[in-house]
């Protein structure tokens, strides 16, 4: 019997990777990672070298095509799989990662006349420079009583499509007029693969405020933000919105030649990276909260009912698994916080000790941090190094560490940062619960749960819940491959639904992380301190963090 495969391509913050999966048993056959040649532009613009303003984060769309060019042929070659054995491709992407296009679908940054203009480039998910626009959107929507606002916790993020589009209009109206389409990078890559314009219901729902029955926010609302913004949907967000699991199209002749696959190979409608992870860890029913943990963390849960509440970044019908409402919340920095500490603040002697013990710096810090009991460091941190996505949805907030002394050691700070992100997750669980969601189980996936055992034990202790961990490192790519199998359909050897695909392919590890009762009691006390500080600094009683950021911004001008 001929073995049948699909390929999942996961586009992350720093790199993209392809994963070849045997869909009969979920075996990961081959994987290949392509680092983005241009990385993340958050200080200067390539080519011109001009300095970017605070909170910008841009990318080069050519890097995404480089992933397709390098990684797909590489997994085929590594596994010695013939093109006729691959029945489908699925992709997932960070979101909202958006770009302006010309009439031919070419990103404006790839045209000579616009390449030196920062607004012509891809705005990465963590581009937070549209906070003023997000604030205007939120204030106006609240004043007008717009019903869509409640589905997003009462606030739209500066990371999302409306705020980023409005920033382009405000700061570069000539480029806004030139742009024929604004697209999620996820949908743009699918368009490159198939030659077909197909917007994902997932990206449109969570990041562009599209609703299955109501559509996008109304022309009247958009016009109230700026008269020039009224036709955003009709002109720049046009195109069919297709459900997850459906086929966006077949691989074009040129893309078949580039990848080594057959023309016409099924390409699934794009997915958001975290959302693709949910079925990949076997979660296809309500009550199970999935922590998609990486540079940031997304918290995802299914329900058979639609509720609203603070901290819910989005609720979208069929947004994750068809037949359910998919809920999203998140922390805009988790792994990025740990990386910041190692890259920018760890003293040199730590690097020497790690090298002597032949350990990575993160490994050494984890080992040393595990020697401390909860509360023993005397430290407490707030996890806002990249703002607060949930529950406060405020990109202008920043990180805090309390309790530092002349005796504080690097491993104590490292442990405290781990704990801070766990407290942030508990705050999100509390917000879900207060909104009427039943959070029964926790599932963790992504790179962090695979690498840092101390982190997962802290999360179990802080939340008081057992945590199950995905049995794959490339969980997003694995989920994307599952959707590729669904797009191919049963007639090609795939599946009729993502639920069927999950039953056949998904798996979690046998080992779980269980809360330790003594630790739970101490973390309950620390969490009360965290929550008090969280509300004091984050809800306006003391605006020192925003005043500091304003001074910093003024100092750069």
Q: What is the pLDDT of residue 395?
A: 85
Q: What is the pLDDT of residue 434?
A: 93
Share of the chain above pLDDT 90, in %: 93
Mention every residue, 6+ apart, whose C-beta is less than 8 A from residue 173.
228
What's the CA gap between 63 and 432, in Å, rounded?
37
Q: Please check the confidence at residue 103 and state whether its pLDDT lies above 70.
A: yes
Report the chain's C-alpha Rg in angstroms: 23
Q: Please check the confidence at residue 282 and state whether its pLDDT lies above 60.
A: yes
Q: What is the pLDDT of residue 447?
A: 85
Confidence of residue 557 (pLDDT cuts 50, 70, 90): very low
What average pLDDT does range 463-471 have in this prediction?
A: 96
What average pLDDT does range 49-75 have in this prediction?
A: 97
Coarse DSSP helix, strand, coil percentages of the chain, rounded to the nearest 5 percent: 45, 20, 35
**CA trace torsion 357, 361, 362, 363 (10° rounding):** -10
What average pLDDT does range 119-143 have in this prediction?
A: 96
Chain segment 516-529, per-residue pLDDT in tens: 999 999 999 999 99
CA 538, distance to chain mean position in Å, is 23
Q: What is the pLDDT of residue 47?
A: 80
Mention every residue, 6+ apart, whose C-beta is less than 8 A from residue 175.
100, 108, 114, 117, 119, 120, 168
Alpha helices, DSSP H, located in 145-288: 161-171, 173-178, 185-194, 201-207, 219-225, 253-259, 273-280
Beta strands in 336-393 (DSSP E): 380-382
What average pLDDT does range 407-419 have in this prediction?
A: 98
What average pLDDT does range 310-332 have in this prediction?
A: 93
What average pLDDT does range 253-280 have in this prediction?
A: 97
Alpha helices, DSSP H, located in 407-543: 410-434, 447-451, 453-463, 475-488, 498-505, 517-538
Q: Please check the confidence at residue 179 and state whether its pLDDT lies above 70.
A: yes
Report the mean per-residue pLDDT for the chain.
96
What average pLDDT does range 177-202 have in this prediction?
A: 98
Confidence of residue 485 (pLDDT cuts 50, 70, 90): very high
Closest CA to 435 of 174, 197, 150: 150
Element containing residue 17 per DSSP (H, E): strand 15-22
Q: What is the pLDDT of residue 1?
A: 63
Q: Please check the confidence at residue 451 and state whether its pLDDT lies above 50.
A: yes
What's the CA gap between 390 and 394, in Å, rounded?
8
Q: Please check the confidence at residue 556 and state whether its pLDDT lies above 50.
A: no
Confidence of residue 387 (pLDDT cuts 50, 70, 90): very high
Q: What is the pLDDT of residue 71?
A: 98
Confidence of residue 555 (pLDDT cuts 50, 70, 90): low
Give buried/exposed letters for 440-459 (b at 16+ CB in 10 A, else e).
eebbbbbbbbbebebbbbbb
Chain segment 231-242, per-residue pLDDT in tens: 999 999 999 999
Chain segment 414-426, per-residue pLDDT in tens: 999 999 999 999 9
């Amino acid at each position: 019997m001929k073995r049948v495969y699909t390929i999942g391509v996961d586009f992350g913050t720093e790199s993209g990777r392809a994963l070849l999966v045997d869909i009969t048993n979920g075996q990961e056959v081959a994987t290949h990672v392509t680092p983005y040649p241009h990385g993340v532009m958050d200080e200067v613009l390539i080519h011109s070298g001009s300095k970017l303003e605070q909170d910008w984060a841009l990318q080069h769309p050519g890097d995404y095509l480089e992933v397709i060019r390098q990684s797909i042929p590489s997994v085929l070659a590594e596994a010695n799989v013939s093109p006729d054995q691959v029945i489908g491709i699925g992709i997932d992407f960070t979101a909202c990662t958006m770009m302006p296009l010309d009439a031919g679908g070419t990103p404006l940054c790839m045209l000579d006349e616009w390449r030196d203009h920062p607004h012509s480039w891809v705005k990465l998910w963590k581009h937070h420079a549209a906070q003023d626009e997000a604030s205007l959107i939120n204030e106006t929507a609240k004043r007008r009583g717009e019903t869509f606002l409640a589905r997003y916790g009462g606030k739209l993020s500066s990371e999302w499509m409306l705020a980023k589009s409005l920033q382009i209009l405000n700061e570069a109206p000539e480029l806004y007029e030139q742009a024929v389409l604004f697209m999620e990078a996820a949908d743009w890559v699918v368009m490159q693969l198939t030659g077909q314009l197909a917007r994902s219901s997932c990206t449109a729902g969570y990041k562009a405020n599209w609703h299955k029955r109501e559509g996008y926010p109304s022309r009247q609302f958009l016009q109230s933000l700026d008269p020039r913004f009224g036709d955003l949907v009709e002109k720049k967000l046009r195109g069919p919105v297709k459900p997850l699991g459906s086929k966006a199209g077949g691989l074009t002749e040129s893309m078949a030649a580039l990848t080594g696959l057959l023309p016409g190979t099924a390409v699934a409608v794009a997915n958001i990276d975290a959302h693709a992870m949910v079925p990949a860890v076997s979660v296809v029913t309500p009550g199970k909260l999935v922590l998609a943990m990486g540079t940031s963390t997304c918290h995802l849960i299914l329900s058979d009912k639609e509720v609203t509440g603070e901290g819910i970044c989005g609720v979208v019908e069929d947004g994750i698994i068809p037949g359910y409402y998919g809920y999203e919340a998140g922390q805009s920095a988790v792994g990025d916080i740990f990386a910041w500490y190692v890259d920018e603040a760890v003293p040199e002697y730590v690097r020497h000790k790690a090298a002597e013990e032949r350990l990575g710096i993160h490994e050494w810090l984890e080992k040393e941090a595990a020697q401390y009991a909860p509360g023993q460091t005397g430290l407490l941190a707030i996890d806002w190094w990249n703002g607060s996505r949930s529950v406060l949805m405020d990109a202008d907030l920043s990180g805090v560490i309390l309790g530092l002394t002349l005796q504080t050691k690097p491993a104590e700070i490292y442990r405290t940062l781990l704990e801070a992100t766990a407290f942030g997750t508990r705050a999100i669980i509390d917000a879900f619960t207060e909104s009427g969601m039943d959070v029964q189980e926790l599932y963790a996936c992504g790179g962090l749960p695979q690498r840092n055992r101390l982190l997962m034990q802290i999360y179990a202790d802080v939340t008081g819940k057992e945590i199950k961990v995905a049995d794959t490192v490339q969980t997003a790519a694995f989920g994307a491959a599952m959707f590729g199998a669904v797009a191919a359909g049963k007639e090609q050897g795939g599946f009729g639904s993502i639920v069927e695909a999950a039953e056949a392919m998904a798996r979690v590890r046998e080992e779980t992380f269980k809360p330790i009762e003594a630790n739970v009691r101490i973390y309950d006390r620390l969490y009360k301190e965290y929550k008090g500080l969280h509300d004091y600094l984050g809800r306006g009683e003391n605006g020192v963090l925003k005043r500091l950021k304003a001074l910093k911004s003024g100092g750069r001008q």
